[in-house]
Structure 1
Amino acid sequence: MSEEQRKPRRRGRIAAGVGAAVVLGTIGATMVFSVGGGDGATGGRNTPPATAPVTKGDLAATKTAPGSLAHGSPTSLRGALQGTVTWLPKSGDTITRGETLYKVDNRPVTALYGDTPMYRDLKQGDEGPDVKQLNENLRALGYTSPYGDAYTWETTAAVNAWQKGRGLKVTGSVEKGLVVFVPGTIRVGELKAQKGSPAAEAILTYTGKERSATAVLPLSDQKLARKGDSVDLVLPSGTSVKGRITGAETVSSDASDGQGGGGTPGSGDKKKTEIKVSIAIKDQKALGNLQNATVDVNFTSEVRKGVFHVPVTALVARTGGGYGLEVTEGGTTRTVPVELGMFSNGQVEVRGTELRPGMKVTVPA
């Protein structure tokens, strides 16, 4: 046997930084590999330094987009009472139903829940969605108030009891400005006023209590922003948190093509259209103390159900073309030919007649 015949046969394993680059799979993953010898059992080779199992299950392809974590867009609150601001909350405070937003002439302005703003004084005989909100809030606070949108004598009695408990003058009617309807529990943002400021001006901004995320996708990826779909948010710590898409809107911004000068008309500036995606986060505790942060948002672009997949690094290039896996069994290895499918997160879908779940394939140590 010649010296050349005694040399062990080698296969090219996909690895970074060796050989020629090739683009593989539907995700456009770029991989670099070395091309070597043929196939066949290696017989007496030592046990490989590392192995990974062939897995059968679902494989999801994702696309990552930049995102931001915050408490949502702020809403401005302007006072509707004449007088002087005598007390303010602190930025970052949370205020819930029945609690004080601020004080005017030492009278508390109360937060109640509802979508209809307080646009008038409310008194017995009035009807409307604002009255319905008032009745609902009084019941939620423990007062006996009627159902429906009518301000009845029962509403008057409940308001009297509520005013007494709040230290207000008992009148049986609700003065415009002493109540502010907000969507739910809120978080105080920026204080616009200070003690001693006129009350009929900007007081503060607020957001929702819960943190949410927004992400921006190119218009071509609009199909990824399906309402109700789940996404993964990767926090600065590397922790992954689940989110759910609650909405998406098309937004435009100025984008220069680099050919214009100073943004003057006809200078080459263009409108850039993107998709702004709103994301709700159910597990607020998983966010820790993060208030405002940059995050990565992973959108699912494709899912393959019940497929075989292995780490990308398990692939070896076969002589004559194609790819295989080095399967280790009983202390020996053999090459199993496979066809490649989808790539995702370091995994690759593989198809082959000899594959079964749990097979051990060699991977770089």
Structure 2
Amino acid sequence: MAETVTHIDDEPGTASTPPPRGRRGRRTALIASTVVVVAAVAVVGALGLGGGEDEEPSAPPRSGSLVSVTRVTLTERTTVDGQLGYGTELPLPIKAQGTVTWLPETGATVERGDELLRVDDRPVVLMYGSLPMYRSLGLTAQENEQGSDDRNSDEQQQSDGGGDGKSPNPSGSTAPGGTGTGGDPGSSRAPRELKGMDVMQFETNLAALGYTGFTVDEKFTSGTADAVKRWQKSLGVAQTGTVDVGDVIYSAGKVRIGQPGTRLGSAVGENTLTYTGTARKVTVNASAADAAWAVRGARVAVKLPNGNPVQGEVAAIGKQATAPEGGGGGGEGGGLDRPATIPVTVTIENQKAVGQLESGPVTVEYVGKEVKDALTVPVSALVALAEGGHGLETADGRFVAVKTGLFADGNVEVSGAAVREGMKVRIPE
């Protein structure tokens, strides 16, 4: 009975039999290897060498430089093509009648008191002003002749005995240009003084040229007539004291002579001579649908043909849109539709900055849109989010969604609940 029990206890595989020392060592080694493998996987994941799609938000960030969210005025600038020149040539309003006997050279500058041209060898002179020359100025011969006729009529009536020697004016007052009544029969009145703003405009120019002896006002007096005679003497013309309607042309300032529309020996016509201003300016044919920037007084930047930038200002905007030649019509035989344009004139205050350039292609840069106090980051800081839209990566590797606004100068306006001024965001490499 005791042997039987001993045999059972000695059978291999029973729970009470202790395992051999060699097998226990192998099991311990396997467990240790498993721990090492798990640790290695964790290290690989921590280094970013692993490849799971579901990364934790707190995972270490990718490499790249950090920038701050800044608050600035973001400005979008747009450039359009323009043409440097002196502007559109306009015909001079020449009212003198006769044959053209002298013309200035194209491009010549004419100032106050200078000759614009000669008609029947009589100079047509430039003066400054806004009123056109619409009548002759002076103690007109017509009024003097009327006074002479009245005096001759009175003398004839007295010699014929028909009348009482009084003026035909029943009120006894003096008629313009006529003789007095009830006084010295041989006395006569001075010619009537011409009045008007055009008189003041001419007298202002006459005084500016150095001819004085009269008061600059709205009355053309005998003093004015004497000054006119001295001026006429300097021009080499008859000293009548009267300025004929064709003797003077007014402009806002000095002018630059354009291309003549006639030849010497031809009769004066509507386009005998053209002119422009003397300041160089830029003309832009702006898209009529996108010309909101063209506001009078708006500041723009002009890039000259030589690459130099100068400041400009919008001075005039056309009111009539013009379709480009050859444009329009998307049907059969028609080209691509091109937008209608309106002319925009840009003046350049610093003419010296233009140098010797008189014409050429330029570019005009203007402010299209502007956002003040905008939170901005470089465009390169934007990342595409898996759920759609854009976001920013923070310094600790988190991603925050943002809404984008104006893009300009390599920066973009951003907004969102998590975006604040000064926060650091990463520009991925």
User: How high is the TM-score relative to the length of structure 1?
Assistant: 0.71
Structure 2: how far apart are the matches of 1:137 and 1:178?
14
Shift of 1:342: 0.9
Aligned to 1:137: 205
Q: 1:257 aligns with which of 320, 329, 344?
A: 329
1:250–1:273: 8 Å Cα contact kept in structure 2? no
Aligned match of 1:109? 124
Structure 2 SS opposite 1:203: coil
Instruction: Give the match for residue 127 of structure 1.
Output: 195
Is the Cα contact below 8 Å between 1:336 and 1:354 reproduced in 2? no
Q: Name which of 335, 352, 356 aligns with 2:422.
A: 356
Going from structure 1 to structure 2, the CA distance change for 1:57 and 1:163 (only over 3 Å counts) comes to farther
* 3-state SS in 2 of match to 1:277: strand
Contact 1:326 1:362 in 2 (8 A): no
Higher helix share: 2
Matched, 1:309 2:369: no
1:293 has 2:360 as partner: yes
More strand by percentage:
1
With over 3 angstroms needed to count, the CA separation of the structure-2 counterparts of 1:191 and 1:275, relative to structure 1, is closer
Q: Give the CA deviation at 1:83.
A: 5.0
Equivalent of 2:254 in 170, 185, 202: 185
Instruction: Tell me, yes or no, if structure 1 residue 208 matches structure 2 residue 280.
Output: no
CA separation of 1:239 and 1:356: change in aligned 2, threshold 3 A: farther
Check if 1:345 corresponds to 2:409: yes
Matched, 1:68 2:83: yes
Q: Report the counterpart of residue 304 of structure 2 in structure 1.
A: 235
Q: Which residue number corresponds to residue 156 of structure 1? A: 225
Q: Deviations over 1:148-199 (max 9, x none)?
A: 33222232122123223333332211123221112211111102334x4235
Cα distance, 1:88–1:302 mapped onto 2, change above 3 Å: same
Aligned with 1:281 (options 348, 354, 358): 348
CA contact (8 A) 2:71 2:421 kept: no
8 Å Cα contact 2:130-2:252 kept in structure 1:
yes
Structure 1 distance, partners of 2:112, 2:229, is 18
Higher alpha-carbon Rg: 2
Aligned length: 322
Q: CA deviation at 1:73?
A: 1.7
The answer to whether the 8 A contact 2:93-2:249 is kept is: no
Q: Could you tell me how far 1:6 is from its partner in structure 2?
A: 3.5
User: What is residue 90 of structure 1 aligned with on the other side?
Assistant: 105
Which amino acid counterpart does residue 127 of structure 1 have in structure 2? K
Is the 8 Å Cα contact of residues 328 and 336 (structure 2) preserved in structure 1? yes
C-alpha distance in structure 2 between counterparts of 1:164 and 1:360, whole Å:
82
Taking only the aligned residue pairs, the percentage that are identical comes to 33
Q: Deviations over 1:250-282 (max 9, x none)?
A: 3233743132569xxxxx999965433232222
Match status 1:165 vs 2:237: no
* Aligned CA distance change for structure 1 residues 325 and 170 (closer, same or farther; 3 Å): farther
Task: Select which of 314, 325, 329 maps to 1:245.
Answer: 314
Amino acid in the other structure paired with 1:285: K
Q: What's the CA shift for 1:147?
A: 3.1
RMSD of the alignment, in Å? Answer: 3.9
Q: What are the superposed Cα offsets for residues 299-333 of structure 1, whole Å, 9 maximum, x if unpaired?
A: 32321113343443454556666333787xxxxx9
Asked if the contact 1:216–1:277 (Cα under 8 Å) also holds between the matched residues in 2, the reply is yes
Local SS of the residue matching 1:349: strand
User: 2:121, 2:57 → 1: CA distance?
Assistant: 88
Structure 2 unaligned blocks of 5 or more: 1-39, 51-55, 140-192
2:70 and 2:421 in contact (8 A); partners too:
no
* TM-superposed deviation, 1:75: 1.1
Q: CA deviation at 1:241?
A: 2.8
Which TM-score applies when normalising by structure 2?
0.62
> 1:140 is aligned with what amino acid?
A
Where in structure 2 are the equivalents of 1:309-328 lying within 5 Å?
A: 309-317=376-384, 322-324=390-392
| Maintained 8 Å contact 2:83/2:362 | yes
